[in-house]
């Protein structure tokens, strides 16, 4: 079956698709608007999902998404090919933008005035089937979810709140009503476990 | 020893918070300083934690934004106006992040690049495998092998005489990374030339099938096989589906059962995207 062939190959290094993305980035550096459109088509849903889980209000999130892509256009030259892949660069840039937004003074004043309602689902549990979702993507998502389950819940909870909601450790401490020191310890232990588990999953796929 | 343990735990603690964007401003600064002075082990820890954090993005629920966002982005970049950089302190990956990446890709980063590469290149494949709605209205395309050099030359000249032709370069995929091919596509006349190299001989009971991916749906575009020991093979394709540069996304080759399939079921050997410039 195709899926096993592909899964077996996950550990092997191939730059086919990531090379295409790098090429897109190079074109974007050269101000090729078409290339930016293509990158938008590839990434908009993932990045919007990430922004929305942090910013919550849809209109605001769309604002941030727009900012992200204009930022990509302007700052493409800061993406260095040899130093990591396009995916990491985009995901990091997006998270930073979203988090900057919620930590800005304006946002905080606004937030007090409104009731935050939208709690986006973190996980694609069950059968919400999207034909454009690739098997690879959902396999990787399953892998990460599985890894999170193997971490003690106290730790994974802290990681989830930090990542999906973009809270600072002191905000997490308030939100979960646990001491700041505990938040730090759990974050540290959780991230160490997570990285080790993911490493071992990826290595397993090599065999 | 206590000092070392405390120091490395402290590094790890800050590192874990840093990759999650969960530190205070002061802690961020402190960590970035530590990162500048980090040793090899610490840099590796940082790499791996950063990568683990990025992996969390895979579990985020994708959400479709309004179409207006894309339009606004295009409009924005065309008019040359700048984005709002008022809070752009950390909007762009910091120097320390770029620096750590220059230490070389850690295993997990490579593995992630690999899996994401497959994600992109198999986007069509998984879609095909699940899409039950692909209907074939057109006449089936036919593929004829051009065995002699004369045939190849004749057909090449003939297709180059068309008003417009498009060249689609195909890359070999994971199951056959050494393979490559080209489609010289005369969309107006619904014909094409196909060249493939380094495709393995088909197992018995199987055949290669060419697909024209049109409006994100694969359209069967003929069956072929390759001779034992042949490095390069050339084919002519006729009665191709009606499509143009706008509607066509890509050409792909998969391995199917002998009579072909209505939708791709087998491994994809090659994929080439149709360039959209103009």
Q: What is the pLDDT of residue B107?
A: 59
The alpha-carbon radius of gyration of chain B (Å, integer) is 25
Degrees (nearest 5) of the Cα angle B125, A205, B115? 45
Which chain A positions have a beta carbon within 8 Å of B16's beta carbon?
A: 187-188, 190-192
Degrees (nearest 5) of the Cα angle A34, A84, A135? 70
What is the band of B262 on the pLDDT scale with cuts at 50, 70, 90?
Answer: confident
Return the residue in A92, A119, A196 with the most chain B beta carbons within 10 A, the one to mutate for interface testing.
Answer: A92
DSSP B201: P
Given CB atoms, is A119 within the 8 Å cutoff of chain B? no
Q: What is the pLDDT of residue A116?
A: 43
Inter-chain CB proximity B83 and A185 less than 8 Å? no
Helix, strand or coil for residue B194?
strand
**Segment B183-226, tens digit of pLDDT:** 999 998 889 999 999 998 888 889 999 999 888 888 999 999 98
Q: How does B181-216 read in b/e, with b if 16+ C-beta sit within 10 Å?
A: bbbbbbbeebbbbbbbbbbeebeeeebbbbbbbbeb
- Helices B123-130 & B107-121 angle (0-180, nearest 10): 50
Q: Are A131 and B131 a contacting pair, CB within 8 Å? A: yes
Q: Stretch B3-15: mean pLDDT, rounded?
A: 84
- Helices A180-206 & B40-56 angle (0-180, nearest 10): 90
**Segment A80-129, tens digit of pLDDT:** 887 778 888 999 999 999 999 998 866 666 655 544 444 444 443 333 44
Q: Are B199 and B206 a contacting pair, CB within 8 Å? A: no
User: How large is the ipTM?
Assistant: 0.78
The alpha-carbon radius of gyration of chain A (Å, integer) is 19
Inter-chain CB proximity B177 and A16 less than 8 Å? yes
The rounded distance, in Å, linking the Cα atoms of B180 and A9 is 19
The rounded distance, in Å, linking the Cα atoms of A186 and A152 is 9
Inter-chain CB proximity A62 and B69 less than 8 Å? yes
Which chain A residue is nearest to residue B180, measuring alpha carbons? A16
Smallest Cβ–Cβ distance between B114 and the set A2, A13, A69 belongs to A13
């Amino acid at each position: 079956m195709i899926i096993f062939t592909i899964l077996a190959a996950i550990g092997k290094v191939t730059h086919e698709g990531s090379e295409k993305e790098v090429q897109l980035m190079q074109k974007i550096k050269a101000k090729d608007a078409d290339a930016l459109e293509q990158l938008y088509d590839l990434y908009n849903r993932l990045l919007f999902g990430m922004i929305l889980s942090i910013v919550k209000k849809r209109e605001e999130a769309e604002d941030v998404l727009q900012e992200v892509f204009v930022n990509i256009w302007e700052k493409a030259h800061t993406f260095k090919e040899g130093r990591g892949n396009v995916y990491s660069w985009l995901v990091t840039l997006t998270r930073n933008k979203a988090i900057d937004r919620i930590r800005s003074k304006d946002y905080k004043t606004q937030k007090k005035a409104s009731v935050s309602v939208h709690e986006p689902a973190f996980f694609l549990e069950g059968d919400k089937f999207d034909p454009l979702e690739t098997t690879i993507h959902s396999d990787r998502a399953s892998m990460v979810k599985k890894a999170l389950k193997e971490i003690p819940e106290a730790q994974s909870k802290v990681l989830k709140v930090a990542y999906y909601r973009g809270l600072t450790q002191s905000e997490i401490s308030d939100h979960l009503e646990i001491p700041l020191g505990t938040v730090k310890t759990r974050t540290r232990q959780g991230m160490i476990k997570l990285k080790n588990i993911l490493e071992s999953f990826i290595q397993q796929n090599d065999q | 020893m206590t000092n070392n343990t405390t120091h490395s735990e402290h590094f790890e603690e800050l590192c874990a918070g840093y990759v999650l964007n969960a530190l205070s401003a002061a802690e961020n600064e402190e960590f970035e300083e530590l990162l500048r002075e980090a040793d090899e082990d610490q840099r590796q820890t940082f790499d791996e934690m950063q990568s683990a954090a990025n992996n969390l993005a895979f579990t985020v629920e994708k959400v479709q934004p309004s179409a207006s966002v894309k339009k606004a982005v295009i409009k924005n970049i065309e008019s040359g106006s700048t984005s709002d950089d008022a809070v752009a302190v950390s909007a762009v990956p910091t120097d320390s992040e770029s620096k750590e990446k220059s230490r070389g890709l850690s295993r997990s980063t490579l593995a992630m690049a690999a899996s994401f590469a497959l994600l992109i290149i198999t986007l069509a494949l998984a879609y095909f495998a699940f899409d039950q709605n692909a209907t074939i209205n057109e006449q089936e395309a036919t593929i004829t092998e051009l065995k002699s050099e004369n045939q190849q030359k004749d057909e090449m000249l003939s297709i180059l005489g068309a008003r417009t032709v498009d060249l689609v370069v195909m890359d070999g995929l994971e199951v056959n990374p050494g393979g490559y091919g080209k489609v010289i596509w005369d969309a107006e006349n619904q014909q094409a030339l196909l060249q493939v190299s380094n495709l393995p001989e088909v197992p018995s009971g199987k055949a290669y099938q060419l697909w024209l991916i049109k409006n994100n749906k694969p359209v069967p575009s003929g069956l072929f096989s390759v001779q034992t020991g042949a490095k390069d093979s050339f084919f002519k394709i006729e009665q191709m589906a009606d499509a143009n540069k706008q509607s066509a996304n890509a050409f792909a080759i998969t391995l199917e059962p002998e009579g072909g399939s209505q939708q791709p079921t087998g491994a994809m050997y090659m994929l080439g995207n149709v360039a959209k410039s103009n």
